[in-house]
Amino acid sequence: MRLASFTVGGARRAAAVDRTGTAVAALPASLGTVDDLVRGGPAALDAAREAAEAALAGPDVLPLDGVRLEPPLQRFNRDILCTGWNYQDHFEESVGKRGGQDPAERPTRPTFFTKGPDTVIGPADDIAYDPDLSAQWDYEAEIALVIGRDGRSIPEAEALQHVLGYLVANDVSQRDLQRAHGGQWLKGKSIDATMPLGPWLTTADEIADPADLQVQCEVNGVLRQNASSAQMAFPFARLIAELSRGMTLRAGDVLLTGTPSGIGSARDPQVFLGHGDLVVTRVGGLGELRNRVVATSLV
């Protein structure tokens, strides 16, 4: 099932997207939003599946290209959870290019950080860009996963049972800010209206093998990133097991799982985003985001 979000008659509604990714239909308002469905447990998802089948076969189906999709999730339990350096080639490409913040050796355990939820924008929304705030706006195509069951110290063998579904994300980052505040990344990852998320939430049962998803990012039609999730240093289950050790993960938590090589700051010469750039982020089986970088006053 593919769960999207858009506004109907002034109210945000959950919607179902068909398997071709070309049509969408609103679900009954009584089911609530996608956020409600994520937190509602198996009964809520079963009701959504039944409603989705009826809605997509009914008279109120709309062409997807005529609907402005919003971020599927808009109510967050906490900061968005993130993973750094989780593709081997991405770690290697940035050696010596991290502004003096290189680790002594390749991490043997996942690197985690967070970013503020006000970063989130929809699959076709503009990415805010303010050159007075930062001179180094970079792209990072990622797979995001959504927790569907609460859990603490989750065994790796059971971790995927806690995943409700997956989304496409782009962790747009400000590299100079990322390195200017004591060596931690929160500031350079948390600028408002900079992280596209969507285009819909694909439930885990739709993904045959989450370890074989192709992750891509194009900037102005040029392919900048192209890798398989099989190249992750730490697969989804390991990330969940490590992150949840002694720390409760709750239904609705969002975890970004890392970006592959090809980022702008690791190129020679470096390539950063600017006003007017079109960033297309796609993951095979999960859909695509199309976002324009637009000058916005943020300070």
Check residue 89 and give its pLDDT.
83
The answer to whether 17 and 24 are in contact (CB under 8 A) is: yes
Q: Which residues pair with 62 in a beta bridge?
A: 24
Quote the pTM value. Answer: 0.95
Tell me: do 54 and 96 sit in the same domain.
no
Instruction: Note whether residue 73 is domain-resident.
Output: no
- Where residue 96 falls among pLDDT bands split at 50, 70, 90? low
Query: What angle (nearest 5°) sits at the alpha carbon of residue 150, between those of residues 149 and 153?
Result: 120
Q: 175-190, pLDDT tens digit by residue?
A: 999 989 888 899 999 9
Same domain? 157 vs 290 = yes
Element (H, E) at 38: helix 34-39
Query: What confidence category does residue 93 fall into, taking pLDDT thresholds of 50, 70 and 90?
Result: confident
CA distances for 59 relative to 23, 25, 200, 263, angstroms: 12, 9, 22, 44
pLDDT tens digits, 216-248:
999 999 999 999 999 999 999 999 999 999 999
User: Is 150 contained in some domain?
Assistant: yes
In a domain, 37, yes or no: yes
Answer for the pair 29, 13: CB distance below 8 angstroms, yes or no.
yes
Say if residue 32 is in the same domain as residue 93: no
Specify whether the CB–CB gap between 167 and 198 falls below 8 A. yes
8 and 120 assigned to the same domain: no
Both tokens assigned to 165: 């579904």
Query: Does one domain contain both 46 and 92?
Result: no
Question: How far is Cα 127 from Cα 198, in angstroms, rounded to an integer?
Answer: 14
* CB hemisphere CA count around 122 (13 angstroms): 12
Question: What count of residues does the chain have?
Answer: 299
Dihedral angle computed from the Cα positions of residues 37, 43, 48 and 54, in that order, rounded to the nearest 10 degrees: -170
- Residue 183 has a pLDDT of 80
Q: Are residues 195 and 90 in the same domain?
A: yes
Whole-angstrom distance, CA of residue 265 vs CA of residue 272? 7
Nearest Cα residue to 137 out of 238, 18, 27, 279:
279
Report if residue 72 sits inside a domain: no
Strand 120-121, strand 195-203: pairing: parallel
Please check whether residue 75 lies inside any domain of the structure.
no
pLDDT band at 104 (very low <50, low <70, confident <90, very high): low
Average pLDDT of the residues in 99-103: 62
Single residue among 18, 41, 66 that ends a domain in this structure: 66
Residues 6 or more apart whose CB falls under 8 angstroms from that of 62 comprise: 23, 24, 25
Whether 31 and 165 share a structural domain: no
Structural domain of 144: 80-295
Which H or E run contains 284? none
In the predicted model, is pLDDT for residue 198 greater than 60? yes
Residue 28 — very low, low, confident or very high, per pLDDT cuts 50/70/90? very high
126: exposed, middle or buried (Cβ count in 10 Å: 0-12, 13-18, 19+): middle
Q: Are residues 282 and 199 in the same domain?
A: yes
Distance in angstroms (rounded) separating the CA atoms of residues 75 and 77: 7
Cβ pair 290, 134 in contact under 8 A: no
Query: What is the C-alpha separation between 116 and 270, in angstroms, rounded?
Result: 26
Same domain, 176 and 246: yes
User: Which residues, including other chains, have CB under 8 Å from residue 237's CB and lie 6 or more apart?
Assistant: 156, 157, 159, 160
Q: In this structure, are 172 and 280 located in the same domain?
A: yes
Domains held by the chain: number: 2
- Which pLDDT value is given to residue 177? 95
